[in-house]
Structure 1
Amino acid sequence: MQDPLNDRLNTPRVWAADLAACAVAGAVLGVVGPFGSFFNDALPVRLAYWMAVSLLSGLGVGVAVRLVWPRARRRGVAAWTWIPAVALLVSGPLALAARLIAVALWPGIREAVDWVEWYGQTLLVAVVYTSLYVAAHARTSRGPGTAQAVEGGARMLDRLPPRLGRDLLCLQMEDHYVRLHTSAGSVLVLSPLARAIGQVGDLEGLRVHRSWWVARHAVRGVVHDGRNLRLVLTSGLEAPVARAKVAALKAAGWLDQEGP
C-alpha cells in the first residue's frame, strides 16, 4: 500500500514551502551571524553563505526525514528517538559542504575552526532543522480520522505494561474502557476511545468503526463478508469496518489488498 505521509510530503508545493522557509531562516542567520560569522565579512556575503547552508540543510534534512518518518510511523517508533539519528546522518555531508563553501569565502577559517568544532556546530543546526521540520509537518501529515491531538503525545503507549511491548496494533472500546492490543497481547485501560486516539502520538492510524481504531502498520489484509468488511491485523485479530468509513479507507489506500 502507498503511504499517505509520503504522498503529502513529496509534492512540489510542500518542497517549495520547505525550501522557502529555509531561505528565510538563512537570511535571519546571515543578519545575526552565529558561531562568530558576524565578523567574517559584510552582510551580503554572510547572507549568501547562510542562505546557501540553510538550503543545503533543508534539502538534506528533507530527504532524510521523508525516508525515515513513514517507516518509523508504521513501526510505532516515537519521533524523539529517530530525530537525533537523522541529524547525525545528515550532519556529516552538511559539515563537509558548509566547510568547503566557508573556506572558499574565508580561507583563514581552515586554521581558525577545527573539524571537531565545525562538526559540532553543524550537528546543532541539523538537530534544530530536523526537530522544527517534524514539528511543522506533524499536524498536516495526518490523514482523515487519524489522531489529531499532538499535545497528547504518546501517553497511551506509556500505559502499556512492559510485557506487551510498544507495538500498538489497535484500540478497541469496551464500555468505559479501551482495550490496547499489541503483538504480544492486550490490556484494558480506563479512557474514552476518542481520548485514547488523541494519545497515540505520531502513530499513523484510522478510526475504522465507532468502537475501533487501527494502526496502519498492523493491517495485513481485508476480508469481505457480504457487504461487511473486516481488517485482518498482523496478530490475527479482525477489526470491523463501519460502512460510513469505507470511502475514507479506500481513499487512504487501506483496502487495496485482500485478506489471507
Structure 2
Amino acid sequence: MNDSPLRLAMRDLQQVFSRPSPWVILGAVIVAAGLSGPFGTLHSLGFGARLIYWAVIGLVTLFSGWLFSQWTVIALMRRGAARIVQWLVGSAVVAVIVALEVGVVNLVAFGISPLSPGEIGDLLLSTTPIALLITAAFSLGYGGSDAPPATVAPPVAGTQAGPLPRLLARLPLDKRGALLSLSVQDHYVDVVTTRGHEMLLMRLSDAIAETEGCAGLQVHRSHWVALDQVRAARREGARGVLTLSDGREIPVSRTYLPDAKKAGLL
C-alpha cells in the first residue's frame, strides 16, 4: 500500500464511522451536553439551542479530530517516529485544529472573537485533554475494537468446525478460511486465508496474538506464516524463503532463521 497518509486517514475515517457505535456515543454526548449545559451554555442558551450548539461542536470536532489525528500519526509512523512522539505531536495538531473550530462556532453563536484576549488559551486548555485521548487511540494502535473477541462459526472450506482463531472473527464471513499468512502493509496487517485476504488496521504483534489455535511462526518483522501452509523452503544466503500453499513466497530474515530451523522449516 503506497497511499498517502491523508488518503489512508480518510479511508480509516470512513471505515470507523460506517459503524453504529460512534454515532450512538456521539448522540449520547450531545444529549448529555444539551441537558447539563457545560461551559456556560446552560444559562446562555435554551435547551433546543444547546442541542444544536453541541451537535455542531460534536460533529465538527469529532470528525476533524479523528481525521487529523490519524493523518499525523500515520505520517509520523512512516518516518519511524516513536509512539510518544506520534502521540504528543498528533495531540498538538488536533488541539490547535479543534480550538480554532470551537472558536469559529463560538463567534457565530455568541459573537465571541476567537482572537480575543484569553480566548485562545482557554480553548487550548479545554481541547488539549480531548486531543490527547483521541490521538492515543491511534498512536497506541487502533485494533478494530468493534470486532467480536471470539466466535464459533460453521465449517467453511479449508477449516475445521469449532472455535476459530479470534483474528478470523474480524474478517467478513466469506473470507474466514484457514489462515495462510499475516503481512504488514504500512500500518495495516494483510490477513491471507484460503478464501482471500483482508486488510485490518492493527499491529502485527496484536494480530499474531489472535491466531491461537493455528500453529504458526513469525519469520520476519513483517511476516507470519501458518506452519501447515508451508509447501517448500530454501536458503538464499543468510536468509530463507518459504513457499506457501497459494504459491506466494515469504522471506525468512536472518533474525528469525534459528526459529525457522527449530520448527523444521529449513
| TM-score, normalised via structure 1 length | 0.50
Q: Which has the higher contact order (CA 8 A, sep 6+)?
A: 1
